[in-house]
Amino acid sequence: MKTWERARRERRCGFCGQTIEVGQPVLVRWLPGRDWRSARCQACAGELAPADLPLLQPLPRAVPMTPIQPMLAVESLARDWKAAAIAEREPGEEG
């Protein structure tokens, strides 16, 4: 199978070895069900790229992650959970 697309990265033609720059039309050939792809420059493809080939769209950038809930206070992170589970004692109280 084959399709025309714009090069997303710099690559080499699979026939003549010429460098295909980012955004140039490239004929991509592949075999369905196999992990094989070949790129041809417009000169080696033997046909012209379609005139309505869309321009290369930029890939969306990852946005920095934001915390889901606000940060807890520092004193709550160092909390003694065992002491909080039992009742507070008065000084001198046994128990």
Q: What pTM did the predictor assign? A: 0.58
- Side by side, which strands form the sheet with 2-6? 2-6, 25-30, 37-40
Q: Is residue 78 part of a domain?
A: no
H/E stretch holding 39 reads strand 37-40
Q: Is the pLDDT confidence value at 94 over 80?
A: no
Residue 64 pLDDT: 83
When pLDDT is cut at 50, 70 and 90, the band that residue 76 belongs to is low
Q: Is position 13 within any domain?
A: yes
Residues 94, 22: Cα–Cα separation, whole Å: 78
Dist CA 19 CA 72 (whole Å) = 54
Tell me which residue range forms the domain holding 32.
Answer: 2-45
Q: Is residue 52 part of a domain?
A: no
Question: Residue 14 falls within a domain, yes or no?
Answer: yes
- Asked if residue 75 belongs to a domain, the reply is no
Q: Is the dihedral of CA 26, 27, 31, 36 positive or negative?
A: negative
Residue 55 lies in a domain: no
Q: How many domains does the chain contain in total? A: 1
